[in-house]
Homo-oligomer: A and B are copies of this chain.
């Protein structure tokens, strides 16, 4: 699909917002302002933005623990998102969810998940529901290469194909599940090969190439919307940061990290846009600046937001 200037700018802005958000997250954490852990997707921005760029606003996504990028790409309010990251009362989840559980139900983001593979069975059911409501909406379900080894993956693929749900399963293969190297047992091609056996049309992409990601996911989205059932896209990418704050990067080399940094999805996209005369260098810098400014104001918003009242602790466990 051809890329409009407007869209190109939007995608670049979102990728920079993701990068800026996560850099800020890291800083806030280092400064002791954040209690808990977090999972950064720096280096994976094209997978999030490229995939979600294919959706209508009324469509859904469901994410995973490394979900900041997905949330931003789905159009989250950065203030509410940062506030949630800070555990504040006015965050998306009233401070109850935090980094690993941000959801924006009205915005069609059905939430991140702390259980690896936890979102996959949910996606099947959301797909069933979407078919029942017959409004032609589709769902993107994100998961990692690690999740592909879970029983949940297997059962979900079988059920998705059986019920022909309008879901595109997007595997963000960043080469590692914590320290477990996907090269040891499954590559993007292998994950896609599994998908084929389940009956899903399956593609492996260069996940750092936004255009390639978008085109592959778009095919899946069109198929789903047209009643053609589920498909699988595996985006080959890399996380620059450690798995989480407990990571000491013992299982990989600096050379490997540096090699992947050279494949920065943002720079790759900028280069493409420049060649295609969609975004000049000046414009790109302007966009970048705006992204960092947006995040800075989100930080200010979050830091000046109120803590939840402990008296409200038990609110929201049960629905009336």
Contacts and interface: CB of A to CB of B under 8 A. Distances in A.
Interface of A: 149-155, 158, 161-162, 184-186, 190, 193-194, 197, 199
Q: Is the interface of A mostly helix, strand, loop or mixed?
A: helix
Q: Determine how many copies of this chain the complex contains.
A: 2
Nearest to A151: B151
Contacts of A151: 150-155
A248 to B, nearest CB: 23
Given A193-B197, A194-B194, 19 more contacts: A149-B154, A149-B155, A149-B158, A150-B151, A150-B154, A150-B155, A151-B151, A151-B152, A151-B153, A151-B154, A151-B155, A153-B154, A154-B154, A158-B185, A158-B186, A162-B185, A185-B199, A190-B197, A194-B197
Contacts of A150: 151, 154-155
Contacts of A149: 154-155, 158
A162 B177 CA distance: 15
A154 B154 CA distance: 6
Contacts of A185: 158, 161-162, 199
A97 to B, nearest CB: 26
B184 A162 contact: yes
25 contacts: A149-B154, A149-B155, A149-B158, A150-B151, A150-B154, A150-B155, A151-B151, A151-B152, A151-B153, A151-B154, A151-B155, A153-B154, A154-B154, A154-B155, A158-B185, A158-B186, A161-B185, A162-B184, A162-B185, A185-B199, A190-B197, A193-B197, A194-B194, A194-B197, A197-B197
A152 B197 CA distance: 17
